Amino acid sequence: MENFKSRAAELVKKLNQASEAYYNGKEEIMSNYEWDTMFDELSRLEAETGYVLPDSPTHNTGYEENNGEREPHEFPALSLAKTKQVSDLQKWAEEKPVWLSWKLDGLTLVLTYDYGKLTKILTRGNGTTGTNITYLKNSIEGFPLLIGYQGHLVVRGEATISYTDFELINATIEEDDEKYANPRNLASGTLSLDDPEKVKERHVHFHAFTLVYLDDNIPSWGERMDFLEREGFTVIEREAVTAQTIPGVIDIWTEKVEKGEMDIPVDGLVICFDDTRYAASGNVTGHHAARAGYAFKWQDVSASSRLDHIEWSCAASTISPVAVFDPVQLEGTTVSRASLCNISEMERLGIGDQCRVEVVKANKIIPKCIAVTESSGSFQIPECCPVCGAKTEVRTSPRSSTKTLHCTNPDCSAKHVKKFTRFVSKSGMDIDGLSVQTILRFMNEGFLSRFADVYHLEDHAEKIKQMEGFGDKSCDNLLQAIEKSRQVHPVNFIYALCIPMIGIDAGKKMIAENGFEGFMERMESGQGFEEISGIGPEKSRSVIEWYEKEQNKSSLKALLKEVTIERVGIPAKDQGKCKGLTFVITGDVHHYKNRDEFKAYVETEGGKVTGSVTSKTNYLVNNDAHSTSSKNKKAAQLGIPVITEDEFVRQFG
């Protein structure tokens, strides 16, 4: 029994330490795979012996955040029971109607409304009390500040950051110690910031997953979700299922993740009863309500492979290790590379110059080394930067004691990677095919030095086609994407320039005031932009100081020779063809380059674009006007006109 107690205490300590880091946006101590393995072992020990420590994570709903004012939850935010067996879900569902939805990997928030107004936002915290972050109500997307319903209403949902935004944000963080391990870690860290503007820039999005309480009686969970959607919330994707159809539907949803179709981070699925009164009737066992819902987590499939070598990749000033191993099949794909994060992680795993590595795909997406077997020898830390050849040095973070490798050359070209990543992003020049890894490889080959060089990659086409991972088709696709980007909206162009403190919102304000020509004239003259609402002296000074640097000025002039800036109308302050109208845009577009460009036009003309069809929507734009999509159905229910893009152009273009 003493051995059981000792092992249980060890597991509780490690799991709680990992949870504390996980819930407070710190560097991760262990992977989800390792956490689940330890949690399962602890659960077995407790079931066998009946010995449960007071702070066991099997009997606690979460971990308290370290910051902010604490408040009790009106309704406890309990955990869901979890399983990796589909048969458990079928047994739990019985013969009752149930719903399947995503288990999003973010931070749970609880929103309270009274008399149609948002009055409180709490984090989940430990399930009993949470942190009040109502001051961020204008910084988080996905929920309205005002709703039509005038009673008391409590909504629970998940705040997430997409993989696209995660990669972009991490690429713009200079210090390796400040980077985030994953989107969930970033979301947690973001919602602990004191500056609402910084939070807003990171595009945290709320997805409602349950309506906890409202004064009116709506007993159906599905109808409750429809109600929230009509009120303007972004609501979790869902599908009605039965015990018999659960396996097939799970296969289809799992395939979406395996194919990389999900930009929102998910770590499983959830089923819940449609009958909310029945769901509320179950007992509370441990730290979850027996009928509130059941979470399904995918079985982590691991594979063992022989390590071939360690590849060191320089991005910004950090040189990160990547394990390159004999190809293995994981989750239907061939995997031969996995990040090792840093020197401390290599030491923790026990990497040697000869060893076998155990690899999983975390959440079926990201290859990760979880263990090392048959290790011999030790790994070698490179003395020179793989990009510029300058000396390297190992630095230890004072915050986390993590050891990382850095290039000592302040002018190393790899330090511009974060700017190139932003330049080619969807919000920038929208060039598909130039990932961070590809940009680094092109820098190593001497193809890229400044932004204008992107438009001369065709000169290196033959060499690119011979590079690993490329070929005629992928190279041609990249060159086509580059050509397509030569015509660009001025707001996206300004964002792509990587001017400090200037994002999409600031770009919109400057263009709406003077157009692109006026933007250039103000920079040339040094007049600045501080009198523009929402810009102010600090951002204005940042633009002028950026332009005064000769390197930036020459880079901009070289770039303007390669691209065409679209002319956009500057409506009078009280005018605009879309003034006062709210649009929802769905499906593919053909008149505009993409939906972001379409949205930018609507906003320039005084309109608004939202993601969900509600009673406040004026038009749904869908080139497939007869589609049976949920948005078309909702528009039909609410009597909202569905128009094609061509009809929009005729009316508002």
Which residues are tagged catalytic?
103
Reported in sequence order, the residue ranges of 441-540 that DSSP labels E, i.e. its strands, are 487-488
Q: Backbone phi, then psi, for 2, in 5-degree steps? A: -65, -40
What single-letter DSSP state applies at residue 141?
B
Q: Which long-range contacts (CB under 8 A, 24 or more apart) does 370-374 make?
A: 370/31, 370/33, 370/34, 370/302, 373/304
Task: Give the chain's largest Cα–Cα span.
Answer: 79
Sole residue written with tokens 């204005």:
540
Q: Please, where are the H alpha helices in 146-245?
A: 163-171, 183-190, 196-201, 221-230
Helices assigned H by DSSP within 373-447: 417-424, 436-444
3-class DSSP assignment, residue 651: helix
Task: Report the alpha-carbon distance of residue 617 to residue 628 in Å, rounded.
Answer: 18
Whether 315 and 175 have beta carbons less than 8 Å apart is answered as no
What is the C-alpha to C-alpha distance for residues 196 and 38, in angstroms, rounded to an integer?
Answer: 37
Tell me the C-alpha distance between 582 and 575, whole Å: 15
Measured in Å, how far apart are the chain's first and last C-alpha atoms? 76
Residue (of 41, 34, 33) closest to 4 by Cα position? 41
Pull the structure tokens for residue 491: 């707001």
Contacting residues for 278 by C-beta, under 8 A, at least 6 apart: 96, 291
Q: Which residues contact 2 (CB under 8 A, 6 or more apart)?
A: none
Compute the distance between CA of residue 239 and CA of residue 222 in angstroms, rounded to an integer.
9
Buried b (16+ CB within 10 A) or exposed e, 256-284: ebbeeebebbbbbbbbbbbbbeebeeeee
Task: Report which residue type is found at 622.
Answer: N
Please name the residues in contact with 263: beta carbons below 8 A apart, sequence gap of 6 or more. 162, 163, 164
Question: Quick one: which of 220, 65, 225 has its CA closest to 131?
Answer: 65
**Rounded CA separation 257/364 (Å):** 7
SS3 323: strand
- The strand pairing partners of 318, in sequence order, are 315, 406
Q: Take residue 543 and report the two structure tokens written for it.
A: 């633009």
Q: 224: helix, coil or strand?
A: helix
